[in-house]
Every structure is written in structure tokens, then in C-alpha cells.
Amino acid sequence: MRLKLSKSELASIKAALERAGDKEIGGQLFGQQIEPSHFRVTTMTIQARPGTFSRFFVDLFQALRDAAKFFEKTDRKS
């Protein structure tokens, strides 16, 4: 799979990784399929709370809110 991210999205991921230090981070990528196995990221979220050094715990409430915002913005049904 190939993902196309903007420079600002890459900078956001890098900053989140630097803030988290040795802890894992999580979030969601939403995008558009360009061709089979090739996607352009149109919206990216980074979970506010990091995980531990060895695992990540999903904040389901944040994940649901972020997904609902994306689907509302794009007029898609979840």
C-alpha cells in the first residue's frame, strides 16, 4: 500500500512522535483511493493521549468524534 501525505501532515506526525518520546502514538487516516493500493490522505487525526513504550490504547470516544467529523464534512454516511 502507498500513502500520499502532504508536507504539513508529515510535519504533524513528526511533531507528535517527538512529543511522545518513547511512547506510541495513534490516530486515523482518512483519504481517497488514487488507484489500487495507492491512497491520498485528505484528513489525518492524532490521538491526544499517547500509549506506552510497547502498546497503544485507542480512545474510542475521540476516534468516533474524529470519524463523525470527517463523514459529516464529506457528506458520507458512517
Per-residue pLDDT for 77 more than 70?
Answer: no
pLDDT in tens, 2-26: 999 999 999 999 999 999 999 999 9
Q: Is the sign of the CA dihedral 65, 69, 72, 76 positive or negative?
A: negative
Q: pTM higher than 0.85 for the full model?
A: no
Domains defined for the chain, CATH in brackets? 2-73 (3.40.140.10)
pLDDT in tens, 20-74: 999 999 999 999 999 999 999 999 999 888 888 888 888 899 999 999 998 888 8
Take residue 75 and report the three cell numbers written for it.
Answer: 457528506
Take residue 61 and report the three cell numbers written for it.
Answer: 470516544
Termini Cα distance of the chain: 23
